[in-house]
Amino acid sequence: MTLQRSWVASAQAANTDFPLHNLPFGVFRDWEGDDAPRVGVAIGDRVLDVSALKASLFDGVAKRAADACAESTLNALMSLGSEYATALRARLIELLDASHADIETNKKAVQPALIAMKDAEMLLPAQIGDYTDFYASIHHATNVGLMFRPDTPLLPNYKHIPVGYHGRASSIVVSGTAIKRPQGQSKSDDAEAPSFGPTKMLDYELEMGAFIGGGNSLGEPIAIKDARTHLFGLCLVNDWSARDIQRWEYQPLGPFLAKNFGTTISPWVVTMDALEPFRARAFARAQGDPAPFPHLYDETDQTSGALDVIVEAWLESAKMRDDGFEAVRLSRGNMKNLYWTLAQMVVHHTSNGCNFKPGDLIATGTISGEEKESRGCLIERTWRGAEPLTLPTDETRTFLQDGDTVILKAYCERDGLRIGFGECRGTVSA
């Protein structure tokens, strides 16, 4: 593909997450002042305030999409459907393109709407009505199963349906928000009765999330061939988990208080259009695995339904900050190794007639790979605490301590093109 460059200098840097080919959407306001939240796109180290651009710069579908950016969330833009965001992104690329014939006119029109990212306070990108977390990584499911059910690590339904649970939308927070250590009931193996108190096994989960664009009517499932058009874009997700509370409470109805005290997402939503060059074949099922049911199978989805997104988890302790050490990488995996595609998750979620609404969020579940270094959470990485990690300060970690900061990152690279997702960051507080 032909790589275009922006006249915004910082968008030309080799390591930027936000070159011209990305232009993720987010919601921001100025750090100082009482300005209302507004929609912007990231370009280099700048935020382009879409709502501040003159209406005369847009027409047709792109104009209607730009008008939706006057709202304080992305929900209005998401609700229009994929063609509107596609048209708006294409027009913004023209306005920011260094090789465009009208570059001087475009610069004059756009520069007043650019602000430094350091001067912007990023907010939740959408009003999230519902949140569902899946369990789509077979490597993660197998590892966790081996710890508790070594003879049968995968439950009988795993290879037949995308397993998920309904999360808590009200406790989803934007990157940078502190996460308070939750309290709850837990029971150790040698205890006669449960006890109540702060979790001793606080964990992160390295995930990706997908925002729903156009929804579906109650009682009307989404067909697999149409599933992609219902996805607006992706963000990073840290589904913080209290493992000791989770183990005690999850039977028989699954995760509850161990999961709903906080979920952190990154502020920038990378559109499906920006991710199109990074599509990949769906996960190769092992010989003997059951074929997906017909409503979950589409040949196009099998050949290009996965996404080649590299995901990383980093840790920085309070002592590391005090002593001047940089964060250390704990995990590096890839989203293309998920057993189920995003389209299959969407289809399964609506197969009973459940209705999605614009701004709903689905997450992949912890993304892990076959290697130890690709395990996407501490319960896997330390094998339930049996293999502690040593930090540069000689501290050890089995689970998270107060003051620890977890930083999730993700990016795609192919044929000289690189785009990223920014950071999903949270610090544990007492």
User: What is the C-alpha separation between 214 and 80, in angstroms, rounded?
Assistant: 7
Whether residue 358 has a cis bond before it, omega within 30° of 0: no
Residue 235, SS3 per DSSP: strand
- Could you identify the residue written with the tokens 């906080």? 262
Residue 350, SS3 per DSSP: helix
Question: Which residues are tagged catalytic?
Answer: 140
Are 420 and 275 in contact by the 8 Å Cβ rule? The answer is no
User: What is the C-alpha separation between 92 and 49, in angstroms, rounded?
Assistant: 11
Long-range residue pairs from 12-16, CB within 8 A, at least 24 positions apart, any chain? 12/44, 13/44, 14/418, 15/418, 16/44, 16/45, 16/418, 16/420
Is 118 exposed, middle or buried (CB count within 10 Å of its CB: 0-12, 13-18, 19+)? exposed
- Could you identify the residue written with the tokens 């390591």? 15
Q: At how many degrees (to 10) do helices 82-96 and 60-68 cross?
A: 100
Strand ranges in 247-387 using DSSP code E only, listed in sequence order? 263-265, 270-271, 279-280, 306-307, 310-316, 328-334, 361-363
Closest CA to 425 of 408, 403, 411: 408
What DSSP line would sit under 11-79, residue for residue? GG-TT-S--TTT--EEEEEESSS-PPPEEEEEETTEEEEGGGS-GGG--HHHHHHHHHTTSSSSHHHHH
User: What is the C-alpha separation between 136 and 15, in angstroms, rounded?
Assistant: 30
User: What is the C-alpha separation between 381 and 16, in angstroms, rounded?
Assistant: 29
Query: What H or E segment, with its residue span, contains residue 349?
Result: helix 342-350
